[in-house]
Amino acid sequence: MRQIVLDTETTGLDPDDGHRLVEIAGVELINRQLTGSHLHLYVNPGRDSDPEALDVHGLTTAFLADYPPVEDVIDQIIDYVTGAEVIIHNAPFDTKFLNAEFTRFGYKPFTEYCGKITDSLVHARELHPGKRNNLDALCDRYGISNEHRILHGALLDSELLADVWLAMTRGQESLLMSFGNQNDDMDSEAEHFSFDASRLPVVYASESDVQAHQRYLEALAESNKAPSLWATLEAS
């Protein structure tokens, strides 16, 4: 499973008002593991950023003047995201800008090149209703250090979001068992397998695992302003 965690920075809030991309970045996950492959592009928007946007990302017109316009890097973006699940925090904002830039230069909308778009903000709100779910709040909630995040930057934010996404979705997603060579076309209901649980290895937690678990419970209790159910059961 290939996933790209992606972020952008822009000159303002809405491409319908003439605002443009100034930065795009993404990091790659394969089977929930960071691969080290990343995309990071600054682009010359051909206009100034609104003061509010400049306060967020700090990318001045003078700095961006030496970088190519977005139409020169669209093929790089397509090569990087094609077929992948693309994870974006508040995805409608970024995809509106990306779609506008792609169609401006005769390409299909950005979203049509992606296998799937996943909005991590929607997922966070489902997990933590009624709480702040911006990237800073989620980093704090999951114990992910963002002390070096003074200004927003697309690469740093995509790296932080990748850590947050893995933390938010770390529950077991599937149990994959191999039963030797099988015909994929065979009716699964007609297949009967025996499973011997006694053959599973028993792995005990190390002292560092226990300490890490305790730190996690303490952070969970602090975040929820109440002891975790695990701690309550241990004390009973």
What homologous superfamily does CATH list for 2-168?
Ribonuclease H-like superfamily/Ribonuclease H (3.30.420.10)
> Which tens digits make up the pLDDT trace of 168-207?
998 644 444 333 444 444 444 434 445 555 566 777 777 8
The contacts of residue 215 (CB under 8 Å, 6+ apart) are 143
Residue 90 backbone class (left: φ over 0; alpha: ψ -120 to 50; beta: rest): left
Give the Cα separation of 153 and 93 in Å (integer).
16
For 109, other C-beta atoms within 10 Å of its C-beta total: 15
Do the beta carbons of residue 43 and residue 75 sit within 8 Å?
Answer: no
- The gap from C-alpha 53 to its chain's centroid, in whole angstroms, comes to 22
Query: What is the predicted pLDDT for the residue at 18?
Result: 95
Do the beta carbons of residue 74 and residue 27 sit within 8 Å?
Answer: no
- Tokens in use for 228? 């975790």
> Which tens digits make up the pLDDT trace of 63-72?
999 999 999 9
Query: What is the predicted pLDDT for the residue at 218?
Result: 79
pLDDT band at 211, cuts 50/70/90? confident
Query: What is the predicted pLDDT for the residue at 228?
Result: 72
| Mean pLDDT of the chain, nearest integer | 84
3-state SS, one letter per residue, for the chain = CEEEEEEEEECCCCHHHCCCEEEEEEEEEECCEEEEEEEEEECECCCCCCHHHHHHHCCCHHHHCCCCEHHHCHHHHHHHHCCCEEEECCHHHHHHHHHHHHHHCCCCCHHHHCCEEEEHHHHHHHHCCCCCCCHHHHHHHCCCCCCCCCCCCHHHHHHHHHHHHHHHCCCCCCCCCCCCCCCCCCCHHHCCCCCCHHHCCCCCCCHHHHHHHHHHHHHHHHHHCCCCHHHHHHHC
Catalytic, 38? Answer no
65-69, 77-81, 88-92, 210-214: segment of lowest average pLDDT: 210-214
For tokens 């303002």, what's the residue? 12
Query: What is the predicted pLDDT for the residue at 190?
Result: 38
Q: Which residue, among 77, 44, 60, 45, has the nearest Cα to 151 in the 3D structure?
A: 60
Looking at the chain, the whole-number percentage of residues with pLDDT higher than 90 is 63
Strand partners, 86: 4, 117
> Which tens digits make up the pLDDT trace of 104-148?
999 999 999 999 999 999 999 999 999 999 999 999 999 988 766
> Of the listed 38, 123, 128, 152, which one is catalytic?
152
Query: What is the predicted pLDDT for the residue at 152?
Result: 62
